[in-house]
């Protein structure tokens, strides 16, 4: 029982830590190697779009093969892709085209791997004799820790080592995640009584159809997308621009760490108390905390207030995301879980770019203050809509 829980959580954590480091390190490696900010942006887009397509295509496949196999293959793809760049660097030399090619290849490992690990959670919980709410709470806590450690580790590694050398390490992390997941018993990743495997889907958009035909799933996914847009715009544009204008760019890292620390506490709280407090209470508290945090950030006051607002946003998002993740596990049939989670993860891969792009346009057109007010207002409207949506009001007792 302990072995099953350990290898599932260890594989998940190492894979997510590797992704977190790569997400920060790869654009820095591109920037330091090519000297082109535009090049870094091109690589980011080259990774996001195929990752979304991979999520749609591979989600259904995850439902037709053993989820452990899908997760291991995804990690192997990521490991091989990341290994290409240091090898090319040592042989023919790196150019922007190599970064784009590797970003595309790597994207076909990231989202399917996440989807497979999320889809296997009920089976792992059953095999390990754990309440799924407890397991998802522990997993979300480890996720928060990975997001807290990843950016800091990436910054230290890039500053300490030759930039492209960092990719040897991230490739090794992906390979280690594959080995840890391979150590899971195959039987522990198949839910007893979960139904027959899903037939081949006629459309890559099957997961999106399932989501948007279900009022509960539609509400949960739209809420998650709204948070992803506002959070990406705040992290990726508002906070860096604000502190750059203030002449304190070094504070950006502290603010993002405060956000990650809040996520860790929120998810940890759910891991400990998630089964004792009604899920609707967790959701409402999370919604309100995120709204309060964004409102504090929107004022753009002293650095301590922005830090505080970021921590509050993280705390609320940690509570909210844990509930949303568990609800998606509870209401989706096991035979369709990979399809649905693949579609959700595909959307969540694309929307951060939308948030950052929209924030950039707003800052250019109306200034930073208008942008922060608009983002806070968007989230407040999302909160009101969620609280007025009947399926979300009955969360925990409503079927899809």
Q: What is the CA radius of gyration of the chain?
A: 20
Four-residue CA torsion sign, 123, 127, 132, 136: negative
pLDDT band at 37 (very low <50, low <70, confident <90, very high): low
Residue 192 has pLDDT above 60, yes or no: no
Q: Which of 200, 215, 235 is the last residue of a domain?
A: 200
143 and 263 together in one domain: no
Mean pLDDT lowest for which of 79-88, 120-129, 272-281? 272-281
Distant-in-sequence, close-in-space partners of 378: CB < 8 Å, separation ≥ 6: 226, 229, 230
Please give the Cα distance from 346 to 333 (Å, whole number): 19
User: In which domain, by residue range, is 233 found?
Assistant: 203-400
Cβ distance 120 to 144 under 8 Å?
A: no
Q: Please report the pLDDT score of residue 196 as a whole number.
A: 44
In this predicted model, which residue has the larger pLDDT, 320 or 400? 320
Q: Please report the pLDDT score of residue 398 as a whole number.
A: 42
Burial (CB count within 10 angstroms: exposed 0-12, middle 13-18, buried 19+), residue 304:
exposed
212 and 354 together in one domain: yes
Neighbouring CB atoms inside 10 A of 197's CB total 14
Residue 160 has pLDDT above 60, yes or no: yes
Residue 399 has pLDDT above 50, yes or no: no
Task: Record the pTM.
Answer: 0.66
192 and 207 together in one domain: no
Alpha carbon distances (Å) from 267 to 134, 149, 241, 260: 10, 15, 29, 11
Q: Please report the pLDDT score of residue 201 as a whole number.
A: 46
Please give the Cα distance from 372 to 378 (Å, whole number): 10
Q: Provide the phi-psi class of 367: left if phi over 0, else alpha when psi is between -120 and 50, else beta.
A: left
Provide the H-helix boundaries in 183-250.
Answer: 206-213, 215-233, 239-246
Q: What three-state secondary structure class fits 218?
A: helix
244 and 149 together in one domain: no
Taking residues 48-66, what's their average pLDDT? 69
Taking residues 281-298, what's their average pLDDT? 89
310-346 b/e with 16+ CB inside 10 Å = b? bbbbbbbbbbbbbbbbbbbbbbbebbbbbbbbbbbbb
Torsion of CA 300, 357, 252, 225, to 10 degrees: 90
Q: What percent of the chain has pLDDT over 70?
A: 83
Q: Please report the pLDDT score of residue 309 as a whole number.
A: 92
CATH of the domain at 279: 1.20.1250.20
Locate 39 and state its tokens.
């090049």
Q: Please report the pLDDT score of residue 244 as a whole number.
A: 67
375 and 294 together in one domain: yes
215 and 323 together in one domain: yes
pLDDT band at 177 (very low <50, low <70, confident <90, very high): very high
pLDDT band at 41 (very low <50, low <70, confident <90, very high): low
Identify which of 23-37, 162-176, 182-196 has the greatest average pLDDT: 162-176
pLDDT band at 129 (very low <50, low <70, confident <90, very high): confident
327 and 264 together in one domain: yes
3-state helix, strand, coil split of the chain in percent (to 5) is 85, 0, 15
Q: Please report the pLDDT score of residue 202 as a whole number.
A: 47
220 and 196 together in one domain: no
Q: Which of 184, 200, 216 is the last residue of a domain?
A: 200
Please give the Cα distance from 267 to 143 (Å, whole number): 9
163 and 208 together in one domain: no
54 and 135 together in one domain: yes
Number of domains the chain contains: 2
Mean pLDDT lowest for which of 62-76, 260-274, 321-335? 321-335
Distance of CA 71 to the CA centre of its chain: 16
214 and 151 together in one domain: no
pLDDT band at 58 (very low <50, low <70, confident <90, very high): low
Taking residues 202-229, what's their average pLDDT? 78
217 and 329 together in one domain: yes
Q: Please report the pLDDT score of residue 293 as a whole number.
A: 92
Q: Which of 151, 170, 200 is the last residue of a domain?
A: 200
Residue 266 has pLDDT above 80, yes or no: yes
Locate 109 and state its tokens.
């490992």
Q: Please report the pLDDT score of residue 79 as a whole number.
A: 92
Q: Please report the pLDDT score of residue 197 as a whole number.
A: 47
Residue 261 has pLDDT above 80, yes or no: yes
């Amino acid at each position: 029982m302990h072995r099953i829980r350990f290898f599932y959580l260890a594989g998940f954590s190492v894979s997510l830590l590797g992704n977190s480091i790569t997400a920060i390190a790869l654009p820095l490696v591109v920037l330091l190697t090519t000297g082109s900010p535009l090049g870094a942006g091109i690589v980011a887009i080259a990774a996001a779009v195929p990752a979304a397509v991979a999520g749609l295509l591979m989600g259904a496949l995850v439902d037709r093969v053993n989820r452990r196999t899908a997760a291991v293959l995804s990690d192997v793809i990521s490991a091989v892709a990341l290994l290409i760049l240091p090898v090319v660097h040592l042989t023919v030399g790196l150019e922007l085209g190599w970064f784009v090619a590797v970003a595309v290849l790597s994207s076909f490992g990231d989202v399917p791997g996440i989807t497979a690990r999320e889809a296997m959670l009920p089976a792992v919980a059953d095999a390990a004799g754990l309440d799924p709410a407890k397991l998802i709470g522990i997993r979300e806590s480890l996720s928060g820790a990975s997001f807290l450690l990843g950016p800091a580790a990436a910054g230290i590694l890039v500053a300490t080592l030759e930039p492209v050398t960092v990719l040897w390490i991230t490739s090794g992390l992906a390979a280690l995640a594959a080995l840890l997941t391979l150590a899971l018993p195959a039987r522990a990743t198949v839910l007893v009584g979960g139904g027959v495997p899903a037939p081949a889907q006629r459309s890559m958009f099957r997961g999106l159809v399932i989501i948007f035909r279900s009022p509960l799933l539609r509400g949960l996914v739209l809420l998650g997308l709204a948070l992803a847009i506002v959070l990406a715009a705040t992290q990726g544009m508002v906070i860096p621009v604000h502190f750059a204008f203030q002449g304190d760019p070094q504070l950006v890292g502290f603010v993002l760490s405060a956000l990650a620390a809040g996520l860790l506490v929120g998810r940890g709280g759910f891991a400990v108390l998630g089964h004792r407090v009604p899920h609707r209470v967790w959701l409402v508290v999370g919604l309100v905390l995120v709204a309060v945090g964004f409102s504090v950030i929107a004022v753009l006051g002293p650095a301590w207030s922005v830090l505080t607002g970021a921590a509050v946003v993280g705390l609320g998002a940690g509570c909210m995301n844990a509930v949303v993740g568990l609800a998606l596990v509870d209401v989706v049939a096991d035979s369709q879980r990979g399809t649905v989670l693949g579609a959700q993860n595909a959307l969540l891969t694309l929307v951060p770019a939308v948030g950052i792009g929209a924030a950039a346009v707003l800052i250019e057109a109306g200034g930073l203050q208008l942008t922060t007010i608009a983002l806070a207002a968007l989230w407040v409207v999302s909160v009101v809509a969620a609280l007025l949506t009947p399926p979300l009001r009955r969360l925990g007792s409503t079927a899809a």
